[in-house]
Chain A
Amino acid sequence: MKAKKSSKTARRKAASQKAAPQKTEQKKAAAKASPIPTKSSAVASAKRSSKRPSTAHLEGVLNVVSDELEIRAPSNVPMLDEPRREVDRSGLADEFGRDEDYEKKVAPYLAWLFEKYFRVELEGLTNVPNDGPCILVANRAGPLPYDGVMLRIALLEHHDARRDLRWLADDFVCQAPFLGSAATRLGAVRACRENAERLLSRGMAIAVFPEGPSGGAKHFRDRYRITSFGRGGFVKLAIQSGAPIIPVAIVGAGEATPVMSQVNRLKKVLKLPAFPITPTFPWLGPLGLLPLPSKWQIVFGEPIQIGQFLGDRKEDESFVHDLTGNVQNRVETLLGDALRERRTTFFG
C-alpha cells in the first residue's frame, strides 16, 4: 500500500516536472536564445553608449529590434536553425584547469621563491624547443611538488618562447584537498596516458616524473638516487607523438624538504603515499611543509629524438625498456655532474 502511494507521488512529481509554465517561458526562451546581448543588456549598453559620440547606440537599438523579432518567431525553440556560430569561449577555464587569474595572483610569491629563496640556476634551457610537443623527464624529490612548480616557472619566465609547460602530477597531489585544486590551477595535470596524449596533440610541452609517488617519499640519503623509473609510459608517448624527450636534472629539491623517516602506520591510516618526518614536519604543523632555502639548479639535457632509434621496432616492448633505461642514465649523468660541481647545499 505504502509503495503504491509513493509511486503515485513520484508520478505526480514527474508530471509536475514536465508541465512547464509555457507562457512566460516562450518570451524568456526567445530572449535567452539570442547570442549574448539579451534585451536587458542591450538596453544597458544603449544607455551606456549614448554618452559616447559614436554610432554604438544604434547597435543597441538594433539589438532591441532583433530581440522583438525573435519574440514574435513562431517556434518556442527559436534560433535552432541559426548558421554556424562561433562559441564565445571567454570566461571558460583552460582545458586542464590552469587558472590564469590565480597564477597572476600568486606569481609574485612564486617568483620570490624561484629567484630569492631557491636562487634557481638554469642550464641548457635552449635544449627545450621553441614550439611543438616535447616531453621533459625529470627526477623527483621531496613530498611536496615544488619541483614541478619551479620547472614550470623556469620555462614560463625564462625560456625565450615563454613555454606553457604542464607537469604531470601523481594522484595523491591531484586528489588532495586544497593542494589538488591549487596545483591544477598552477599547471599540474593528473598523470595518465589520456591526459598526456591530449596535451601532446595540442603541441604542448609536458614534464613527467617517472619515479612517481614513491619518488617524493625517498629517504634523505637516496634523494638523488633514482630507484624506479616507471614502465616506460613516457617512451611510448614519445613514439606515438614523435615528440623529443629532454632529460632534466633537478638539484636542490631533495634538501628543501629532507625526509628523515617514514611513519608507515600513519601513512596507511591517512591514505597518503608517505607520512614523512622532516626536521620541521610534523613538529611545526602546516608551517613544517615550508621548504628549507636550499640552492637549486635545473639542468636541461640534449633532446633525444626517438625517431632515430626507432626503425621498425615500434611495437617492441624490450625497445621501450631499453630506451627507458637510456633516458634514466642520461638523467643520472646530468644529476651526477651537477652534484659534483656543487660545493655547499645552501650556497651553491
Chain B
Amino acid sequence: MGSKTKAMAQAEKRSPRVVSRQADTPGNVVQRTTVRSVAVTGAASVLGSDLLSALEDDPTWGRIVAIDIQSPTSMRSKSRFYEVDLTDARTEARLSEILAAEKVDTLVHLAFLASPTHAHAWTHEFESIGTGHTLAAARAAGVRAIVSLSQTWLYGARGTNPNYLRETHPLLADATEPYFRDKLEAEAHVQRLLRATSLYANASNDPSLTVTVLRAAPILGPRTHNFLTRYFGRKFVPTILGYDPLIQVLDERDAVRALRHAVRHPVSGIFNIASEGVLRLSKAIHAVGKTALPLPYPAVYSMAAAGWLAQLTEAPPSFLRYLRHMCVADTGLAKQKLGFEAHYSALDALVALRTLTAPSAVQEDRWLDRGVE
C-alpha cells in the first residue's frame, strides 16, 4: 500500500493541472510531449470506471482520456472527459481530432452493450458502425496500440464444440440475434485491422500498431450489471431439464486486470480471457445462493420468448443455447503470449455475486468458509 500512495504522489507531480470535468473542446488542449496518454471509450461503464482508476494509479500514464456520453464517476486528477456519441455521423472526425490533440498512444475500446436490448437499429449504429468509426479515428490520429473488448460467447454454444475453444476456432454465435451480430461485426472490423497491421509489420519489421482483442468470458461481479447478473439474481433460476453444461465466467476484478495488463504490455493478437476453472451451471447457481428450477426445454423456450416480447426477461430465447451446451474458451494463449493469468476462480466471481443479493444468508455457508478452515 505504501508503494501505491508513492506512485500516486509521483503521478500527481507529473500532471499538476487541475482536473477539468466538463467536456473540453480540442482547441483548448495544452500540447504536452513528455507524458503518454491513454484513451478509454465507454469509460462511464463499471468496467471503464474501474479501468480509469487502475490507470490513474499507474505512473506510466500522464493523461487519461475518457470518452463516453456521460461523465465517469471515477475521474481523478489525470483524467479528462470528452462527450462523444459513437452513433453520431461526425464521430470519426471529432474522435480523431481529440486523439491527435491529446497525443493518445493507446486506445482501449470498451463501448459495447453488456446486455441485449430491443433497440436493434441503435445498437447496430453504436457497436458495429461505432467500432468502425473508432478504429478509423485511431488510425488517422496515429495511435500506436488498440485494445478492444470482445466476448467468448461469440464462439457460440454448440454440442459440437470442443471443451476448450482456441482463438482460431470460428465465431459461430447465432448471427440472426442482433446482440451477437453487432458484436461479430465489430470484431470483424478489429480483425481486419489486425490482419492489415500484422502483414505490414511482417513486411517492414516495425510494428507501428499493435491490435489486441480480448475475448472475455461473461463478466460477473457485485458491481457489474448485465443480463447474466440479473439471471443469477432471480430467486428461482430457470435451467433446462436434462442439461447441465460447464460454464466459464470472468471475475470483474480479473477483467480490469486483463485490460490493464494489455495496456501495459501490448501484444498483437486475439486472446481469450477468463477466470480460472469451469463449473456446472447447477453448481454455479448454488454458489450464488439461489435455487435452480429445471424445466423442459419447450416450456422454457416459450416462456423466454413471451417474456422477451413483453420485455419482462433479460435475454431473448436464443440465449437458451448457453444453458444447454458448452461455450468454454482456452485461456492458454493469454498466459503464454500475453502473460496474463487470472487471480480469481470462477467460484470467487460467483460467491462475490452472492454478497450483493443476500448478505445475511452468506455467513454460515461452506462456500465462503473454504478459505478460513
On A, residues with C-beta under 8 Å from B are 3, 6-7, 9-11, 13-15, 17-20, 22, 25, 28-29, 31-33, 35-38, 40-42, 44-45, 69, 73-77, 79-82, 84-85, 87-93, 95-97, 99, 171, 174-175, 177-178, 180-181, 189-190, 192-195, 198
Those of B108-131 within 8 Å (CB) of chain A: 113-115, 117-119, 121-123
3 shortest interchain CB distances as A-B pairs: A177-B242, A36-B371, A10-B119
A14 to chain B: which residues have CB within 8 Å? Answer: 113, 117
**What is the chain A residue whose CB lies nearest that of B365?**
A41
Instruction: Say whether A45 contacts B119, CB under 8 Å.
Output: no
Q: Does B200 contact A (CB under 8 A)?
A: no
Q: Nearest Cβ distance between residue B210 and chain A, in whole angstroms?
A: 22
Instruction: Say whether B347 contacts A77, CB under 8 Å.
Output: no
A37 to chain B: which residues have CB within 8 Å? Answer: 371-372
Instruction: Say whether B166 contacts A194, CB under 8 Å.
Output: yes
B347 to chain A: which residues have CB within 8 Å? Answer: 88, 90-92
Tell whether A38 pairs with B355 under 8 Å between CB atoms, given A20-B223, A87-B344, A90-B370: yes
- Complex Cα distance, B351 from A33, in Å, reads 12
Instruction: Say whether B53 contacts A75, CB under 8 Å.
Output: yes
Tell whether A28 pairs with B355 under 8 Å between CB atoms, given A75-B53, A80-B54, A171-B160: yes
Instruction: Say whether A178 contacts B278, CB under 8 Å.
Output: no
A92 to chain B: which residues have CB within 8 Å? Answer: 276-279, 345-347
- Complex Cα distance, B282 from A99, in Å, reads 12
B48 to chain A: which residues have CB within 8 Å? Answer: 18
Those of B1-30 within 8 Å (CB) of chain A: 1, 3-5, 8
Instruction: Say whether B121 contacts A3, CB under 8 Å.
Output: yes
**What is the chain A residue whose CB lies nearest that of B244?**
A181
Instruction: Say whether B371 contacts A89, CB under 8 Å.
Output: no
Per-residue contact bits, chain B 267-295, to A (CB 8 Å; 1 contact, 0 not): 00000000011111001000100000000
Instruction: Say whether B159 contacts A32, CB under 8 Å.
Output: no
Instruction: Say whether A77 contacts B276, CB under 8 Å.
Output: no
Q: Nearest Cβ distance between residue A42 and chain B, in whole angstroms?
A: 7
Instruction: Say whether A88 contacts B54, CB under 8 Å.
Output: no
B334 to chain A: which residues have CB within 8 Å? Answer: none
A79 to chain B: which residues have CB within 8 Å? Answer: 253
Q: Nearest Cβ distance between residue A3 and chain B, in whole angstroms?
A: 6
Q: Nearest Cβ distance between residue A197 and chain B, in whole angstroms?
A: 9
Instruction: Say whether B4 contacts A7, CB under 8 Å.
Output: no
Instruction: Say whether A190 contacts B162, CB under 8 Å.
Output: yes
A177 to chain B: which residues have CB within 8 Å? Answer: 241-243
User: What bracket does the count of chain B residues touching chain A fall in?
Assistant: 35 or more
**What is the chain B residue whose CB lies nearest that of A69?**
B1
Q: Nearest Cβ distance between residue B24 and chain A, in whole angstroms?
A: 20
B356 to chain A: which residues have CB within 8 Å? Answer: 28
A93 to chain B: which residues have CB within 8 Å? Answer: 246, 277-280, 283
- Complex Cα distance, B242 from A178, in Å, reads 4
Q: Does B257 contact A (CB under 8 A)?
A: yes
Q: Nearest Cβ distance between residue B193 and chain A, in whole angstroms?
A: 25
**What is the chain B residue whose CB lies nearest that of A181?**
B244
Instruction: Say whether A41 contacts B368, CB under 8 Å.
Output: yes
A44 to chain B: which residues have CB within 8 Å? Answer: 363-364, 369
Q: Does B74 contact A (CB under 8 A)?
A: yes
Q: Does B102 contact A (CB under 8 A)?
A: no
**What is the chain A residue whose CB lies nearest that of B48?**
A18
A18 to chain B: which residues have CB within 8 Å? Answer: 44-46, 48, 68, 70
B73 to chain A: which residues have CB within 8 Å? Answer: 19-20, 22
A194 to chain B: which residues have CB within 8 Å? Answer: 162-164, 166
B74 to chain A: which residues have CB within 8 Å? Answer: 22, 76
Instruction: Say whether B370 contacts A77, CB under 8 Å.
Output: no
Instruction: Say whether A181 contacts B242, CB under 8 Å.
Output: yes
- Complex Cα distance, B182 from A237, in Å, reads 38
A-B contact pairs, 11 of them (CB 8 A): A6-B118, A10-B118, A22-B73, A35-B371, A45-B372, A81-B4, A89-B345, A91-B283, A92-B276, A174-B159, A190-B162
B50 to chain A: which residues have CB within 8 Å? Answer: 76-77
- Complex Cα distance, B176 from A225, in Å, reads 46
Q: Does B362 contact A (CB under 8 A)?
A: yes
Q: Nearest Cβ distance between residue A2 and chain B, in whole angstroms?
A: 11
- Complex Cα distance, B373 from A15, in Å, reads 42
**What is the chain B residue whose CB lies nearest that of A180?**
B243
- Complex Cα distance, B111 from A11, in Å, reads 13
A29 to chain B: which residues have CB within 8 Å? Answer: 222-223
Instruction: Say whether A10 contacts B243, CB under 8 Å.
Output: no
Per-residue contact bits, chain B 138-175, to A (CB 8 Å; 1 contact, 0 not): 00000000000000000000011011101000000000
Q: Nearest Cβ distance between residue A128 and chain B, in whole angstroms?
A: 24
Per-residue contact bits, chain B 320-361, to A (CB 8 Å; 1 contact, 0 not): 000001000000000000000111111110011001100100
Instruction: Say whether B256 contacts A99, CB under 8 Å.
Output: no
Q: Nearest Cβ distance between residue A271 and chain B, in whole angstroms?
A: 11
Tell whether A19 pairs with B70 under 8 Å between CB atoms, given A10-B122, A81-B57: yes
**What is the chain A residue whose CB lies nearest that of B253?**
A33
Q: Nearest Cβ distance between residue B47 and chain A, in whole angstroms?
A: 10
- Complex Cα distance, B246 from A95, in Å, reads 9
- Complex Cα distance, B164 from A198, in Å, reads 9
Instruction: Say whether A36 contacts B370, CB under 8 Å.
Output: yes
Q: Give which listed residue, B159, B280, B368, B369, contacts A175 with CB less than 8 A.
A: B159
- Complex Cα distance, B248 from A95, in Å, reads 11
Tell whether A190 pairs with B253 under 8 Å between CB atoms, given A10-B122, A41-B369, A88-B348: no
Tell whether A171 pairs with B159 under 8 Å between CB atoms, given A18-B45, A44-B364, A75-B53: yes
